[in-house]
Amino acid sequence: MKKIILLIITIICFFNITVTTHAIIPSIITNNTNNDMTPSAIIDSEGTIYAVYASDREGNYDIFYQTSNDGGSTWSASTKITTSDADDFSPIIMQVFSGKYFIIYVSDSTGNKEVWSVTSNDGSSWSAPINITNSFENKMKPSIIQDISGKFWISWTVSVFGVGEGQVDKMQYMTSIDGATWSDISDFSINALKITNARLSEYSGTYGIVYESNGAIYYSSSSNGETWSASFLISLGTDNSEPMHIKDSTGKHHIIWTSTQNGNNDIYHSSSDTGTSWSAPSAITIHAASDASGYILQDTNDYFWFLFRSDRVTENRDIWFMKDTTIPVETEPPIDTCGDSVCSIGESCESCPSDCACTPPEPPNLCNGVVCPEKCEGTTKYKNGYCVGDGDCAYAVIVEKSEVCGYIDTSEPIPEIEENQTIDEFEDEDIGEMLDAMEDTDSKNAVSNTAVDEIKDTQTKKQEIASDAMDDTKETEEGKDNTGLIIISFVLLFFIIGIWLYTRSKNKTQELPVDEYYE
C-alpha cells in the first residue's frame, strides 16, 4: 500500500513540474537606434493594450505610444504625442471610469520639472499638453489613480531643503473631482525623511504607497489617503529603486522594483497575502544586460503583463515585455552558438553570418568609367568586340565574360540532338532569348547588327545540323522497316513454294493405278 501511495505522489509531482514549467522569454516592442525609457501600460475597455514610453529618437525626449490588439503578438507603429523642444519623460497612462484616457508625465519645458497631462476620448487623438503643477521643486516619478469614489489623485516626489534638516525627499499629491480642476499641493504624512521613486495605488478603498528610502524598498497603506500605517520593509539594501505595487484579482499584493544586487540592473518581485508579511525577493529578469523601470498590470483574463526597458540587443535601450498567468519570470537565455541556424542575442551578420542573414553589398561595376576602345579594341582574346549604344561594349576585356558589361558568348558547343526528337522540339532557348534581347531597340546592352548576324548564322547552322541529324534518324528507321518487309517476303515465298510442291505431289499420286497406290 505504501508503495502505491508513493508512486501516486511521484506521478503527481512529476505532472505538476511538467505542466507548470515552461519557457518565458521576453519579447521586444520597440527597436530603434535611440533610447526608449520608463514604460507604462493599460489594457483598455476594448481589450487593446497601450504601451507608453519616453524616447529621444528625434533628439530630445518625447512621449510615444504603441498598441496591440492580439495579445502582444504584433504592435502598431509608434505614435508621437508630445512635440515640445523640452524633455518629456516618465509617462503614466490610465483609462478613467468614463472611458477617457489620461497620460501624465514630467516636462522641463518651463525651466524646472513639472507635471503635465494630455487626454483623449478615443485613445488616438490627444489634447494639447496641460500644465498641472507650477512650483520651484523638481518633480520626479509621477503617478495617477482614480479611487473607488471617482476621485483623481496625482502624486510625485521632490527633494527640498528643510530648516535644520538638510535635504528632505518627500512625496506630494494633488486631487481632483473631475480631472480638470486640481487642489493645492499637499504632502503625504509618512514617517520618513527620505522618500524617492514613490508610487501611489488604490484597491477597493485601501490606498498603498511603495517607495525607496536610502536604497531599501518599503510599503505603507491607508484607509483614507491621509493617515498611513507603519512602513513594511520589502527589500533591504542600498541598490534598490523604481518600485511599483499592484493587487491581483485574488487580492494578493505584488511589488516589483529595480535592483543591482547581482552586478547589473534586474527586476525583482515580492508578494504578500495581507500587505504586511512579504515573501523573499526573487529576480524576474536574469539577463546580463541592464533591465530596469519595470511596470506590471493584470488583464481581465488574469494574465500578468510585465514591461521594462533593456539594452539587451544593442547599447541603446528598448521596451520589452513578458506575460503569463502567474508573475512572469524569465527563463535562462539561450546560449549563443554560432552554427545552430538561430540568430541569437549577441550574434550578428558580422560575428556569425551562417546564423544571421547578411545582405551582400552591391558588387562594383567594373565597366563604369571605362571607354569602349579600352574594352574592345586591340584585344587578342576577343577580336570581334563591338562598340554599341552610348560607348558600351558587346563584351569586356577588363572583366572577362562579364554580363554587366554586355558580354555575349557565341562559342558554346552545338548540342547533340536527342534520339526521336523532332525538328520542332529542337530549340535553343538561351540563343533565342539573346536574339530577342539584341533585337529589342530598348535593350540596355543592344549590340550591333554585325553581332546579331553572326549569332543568327550560328543558330542557322545548328538548325541545319539538327535537320541533317533528323534525316539520318529517319533513314535509319526506314532501313529498319525495309528489313522487316524483306523477311516477311521470304517467309511468304517459302510458304508459296511449299504449297506448290505439296499440290504437285498429290496430283502425281492420283494418276497411279489402284494396285500401285496400295503397295
Which segments of 225-334 are extended strands (E)? 232-235, 240-247, 253-259, 266-272, 282-283, 291-298, 304-310, 318-324
Q: Among 231, 223, 144, which Cα is nearest to 194's?
A: 231
- Count CB atoms within 10 A of the CB of residue 500: 10
- Give pLDDT, residue 99: 96
- Give pLDDT, residue 300: 92
The secondary structure of 398-440 as a DSSP string is: TTTT-TTTT-----PPPPPPPTT--TTT---HHHHHHHHHHH-
- Give pLDDT, residue 464: 61
Average pLDDT over residues 248-274: 94
- Give pLDDT, residue 193: 62
| Chain segment 214-242, per-residue pLDDT in tens | 899 999 999 999 899 999 999 988 889 99
Average pLDDT over residues 468-474: 56
**Cell of residue 329, nine digits:** 519570470
| Chain segment 17-53, per-residue pLDDT in tens | 333 335 688 999 998 889 999 999 999 999 999 999 9
Contact of 270 with 253, CB cutoff 8 Å: no
Look over the chain and give the mean of its residue pLDDT values, rounded to a whole number: 76
Under the banding of pLDDT at 50, 70 and 90, the label for residue 347 is low
Under the banding of pLDDT at 50, 70 and 90, the label for residue 486 is confident
Spatial separation of the C-alpha atoms in residues 488 and 69, rounded to whole Å: 86
| Chain segment 77-125, per-residue pLDDT in tens | 999 999 989 999 999 999 999 999 999 999 999 888 999 999 999 999 9
Measured CA to CA in angstroms, residue 462 lies from 81, 352, 414 at distances of 72, 50, 6
- Give pLDDT, residue 105: 97
Under the banding of pLDDT at 50, 70 and 90, the label for residue 468 is low
- Give pLDDT, residue 506: 60
- Give pLDDT, residue 189: 82
Contact of 160 with 167, CB cutoff 8 Å: yes
Contact of 292 with 242, CB cutoff 8 Å: yes
Spatial separation of the C-alpha atoms in residues 203 and 348, rounded to whole Å: 46
Under the banding of pLDDT at 50, 70 and 90, the label for residue 496 is confident
Spatial separation of the C-alpha atoms in residues 321 and 307, rounded to whole Å: 4
**What percentage of the chain reaches a pLDDT higher than 90?**
46
Under the banding of pLDDT at 50, 70 and 90, the label for residue 12 is very low
Spatial separation of the C-alpha atoms in residues 294 and 68, rounded to whole Å: 19
- Count CB atoms within 10 A of the CB of residue 359: 6
- Give pLDDT, residue 135: 85
Under the banding of pLDDT at 50, 70 and 90, the label for residue 194 is confident
| Chain segment 364-420, per-residue pLDDT in tens | 444 444 444 454 444 333 334 444 444 444 444 444 444 444 444 545 444 444 444
Does 76 score more than 90 pLDDT?
A: yes
Spatial separation of the C-alpha atoms in residues 453 and 511, rounded to whole Å: 87
Buried b (16+ CB within 10 A) or exposed e, 177-208: eebeebeebeebebebeebbbbbbbbbeebbb
Look-up of cell digits 488604490 = 202
